[in-house]
Structure 1
């Protein structure tokens, strides 16, 4: 069961993902200030942002379940999201809600993380995830997956950051 809660007074949205052998918590800090975190249009509502946040949190959960030992806990704070592509304002009459994918509009995500093993800090940091070659890299996700480029970027970061642990 998934639970979304918003603390609008401090601009923090926490997404609780299902408990599994590996514990992962993903929180979204001031999502209303994110660069571009909506599937539908550039003027995102809280509901639009919540959909993207849910999908990001679920993907981090799947990555942790597959790659982290049961005695580790990962805490991620997402500080900014900029989805691949953009909405082009001059297309407002014909395709206002169509995200245009171009090689110069790569996906980005800024986050802070802490990895704990048996309750003790093992690794932490703040990082900017960027995939400037997102259109040239192979991608295992379906073309209909709205987060396909971001998921590939998250996979790459997760592998590089946590494969040694």
Structure 2
């Protein structure tokens, strides 16, 4: 079976595109998650289950961003120091598992990160990441995603700091 020149060129371009895709990694750790400002998925004071789910969800998201945007050989070490999720639980609400989201309760994450390239680390940087206009922008995440505002905020932050180069 012979292949046409167009097919050969298309296969070659596909191979080049795959080799050029980003393939960085991220290692995410959480510092004293029990002291986070607001990390409860289902109530104001988070349960161990809430904290474990939050950590898992944030870690997966940051790892996905690193795989997508960091170059091969780059590793991002992220320490999450504090989380304040968008919205609040209203003490007067009859149902304690409903988070009320208003523009005055924007998402915030405090973190420290170090980017390493081929084993050589840049200096660590500590930042407070927040999005005060989180309700005014288009959010690509489902309304059922418990971290939809935080993920969109981290997407923007990641793109600004480490976007594909």
Q: TM-score, normalization: structure 2? A: 0.83
Q: Give the structure 2 partner of residue 161 of structure 1.
A: 161
The gaps in structure 1 that reach 5 residues or longer are: 1-20
| Cα pair 1:29 1:78 within 8 Å, conserved | yes
Q: Give the structure 2 partner of residue 4 of structure 1.
A: none
Query: Alpha carbon RMSD of aligned pairs, Å?
Result: 1.5
Larger radius of gyration: 2
List per-residue Cα deviations over 1:80-130 (Å, max 9, x = no partner).
Answer: 000000000011xx2211000001000000000000000001353000000
Residue 134 of structure 1, CA deviation: 0.4
| Cα pair 1:63 1:158 within 8 Å, conserved | yes
Structure 2 counterpart of 1:79, from 81, 86, 94: 81
The count of aligned residue pairs is 144
Between structures 1 and 2, the one with greater helix share: 2
Change (3 A) 1:164 1:58: closer
Between structures 1 and 2, the one with greater strand share: 1
| Cα pair 1:116 1:123 within 8 Å, conserved | no
Runs of 4+ in 1 over 6 A off after TM superposition: none
Residue 23 of structure 1, CA deviation: 2.4
Of 145-154 and 121-130, more deviation after overlay is shown by 121-130
Q: Give the structure 1 partner of residue 3 of structure 2.
A: none
Change (3 A) 1:160 1:123: farther
Q: Give the structure 2 partner of residue 99 of structure 1.
A: 99
Which whole-Å CA distance do the structure 2 matches of 1:47 and 1:163 have between them? 33
The gaps in structure 2 that reach 5 residues or longer are: 1-22
Which whole-Å CA distance do the structure 1 matches of 2:156 and 2:96 have between them? 31
Q: Give the structure 2 partner of residue 108 of structure 1.
A: 108
Which whole-Å CA distance do the structure 2 matches of 1:98 and 1:144 have between them? 12
